[in-house]
Structure 1
């Protein structure tokens, strides 16, 4: 699934029946210095929390 974690309804629906979740927490190297730090925090920390909660 490639999607925005903000859509928690879609996230929960997609995870139904899943045995494994692989979350790669994107936004890395070419974006350093181009994207504000809070965007990295959103994807890597808050997004991961939403994923864990939905699972």
Structure 2
């Protein structure tokens, strides 16, 4: 494998891992938003979850 090909593959892998981190953060944010919405709809507080 040429050094250029290796560098290209490394760059692609880095971009893939970076996008996976972003997706995880957006999924967490979406889950938190959904939880907050459901809690508001049902009149729940954090204390109700304990």
Query: Would you call these one fold, judging by a TM-score over 0.5?
Result: no
Q: Which has the larger radius of gyration?
A: 2
Q: Which has the higher helix share?
A: 2
Instruction: Tell me which of the two structures has the higher relative contact order, counting C-alpha pairs closer than 8 angstroms and 6 or more residues apart.
Output: 1
What TM-score do the two structures reach when normalised by structure 2? 0.35
